[in-house]
Amino acid sequence: MSETLFRALTKTSAPELERILRFASAPVLTALAGYEWAGLNVGGPLAVLGGKKFIMGFFRGSSGAEGYHIGAVQDGPLEPWRYDSPVDQPPARSAFFRAGRVKAGSRDARYPRAALLDYGAGRRKSAWSFARLRRDYLVQPDPSDAEVLLGRRTLALGQARLAAHCFVLRRLRSTTWAP
């Protein structure tokens, strides 16, 4: 069922993805830690520019769930997700974030039922990193399937939050990695 849901979400219209983001609930954040997820950007400029596949990982940090991104080989959505690093080297982790619940009334409360991945809150990047502008919202579209998640990337520009694109995640593998 998970693979079917993942593929269906990658073909879902933008208005329907928006509806799901508004009404679905956040995943259990503690259940995300210890796993890497196959990610696919849907819609937006990345679909045209080729940066569609990625890998997102979660670990238990000092302040709760945290995470990172790893580049993936861009060989099409039907092929297995593989790190884009040489096989004799560990994958490069970047774009670190903290995961938490959306706070009602905050400027990041665009999707109040979602989890918020705050790239600006992470300590593991330079103060000048473009990734600090990212804010991702994450929901579990099907309450009975914790293996597939839907996200919305936004960019924090001052007080404004500009919607960029959606992405779909599917649990890929367990990991023991932590900084």
Instruction: Identify the pLDDT of residue 26.
Output: 97
157 domain residue, yes or no: yes
112 domain residue, yes or no: yes
In a structure prediction context, what are the per-residue pLDDT tens digits for the chain, which is 179 residues long? 789 999 999 999 999 999 999 999 999 999 999 999 999 999 766 555 556 999 999 999 988 999 999 999 999 888 999 999 888 899 999 889 999 999 988 888 899 999 999 988 866 665 567 778 889 999 999 999 999 999 999 988 888 888 888 999 999 999 999 98
Instruction: Identify the pLDDT of residue 133.
Output: 83
CB 47 within 8 A of CB 15: no
Q: In the chain, what's the furthest Cα-to-Cα distance?
A: 47
Domain count for the chain, please give it: 1
155 domain residue, yes or no: yes
Q: Strand 93-101 and strand 115-118: pairing?
A: antiparallel
Instruction: Identify the pLDDT of residue 147.
Output: 98
Instruction: Identify the pLDDT of residue 162.
Output: 85
Two structure tokens written together for 117: 């991945």
Separation of alpha carbons 161 and 175, rounded Å: 32
166 domain residue, yes or no: yes
Q: Specify the CATH number for the domain of residue 116.
A: 2.40.128
89 domain residue, yes or no: yes
Provide the domain limits for residue 87. 2-174
110 domain residue, yes or no: yes
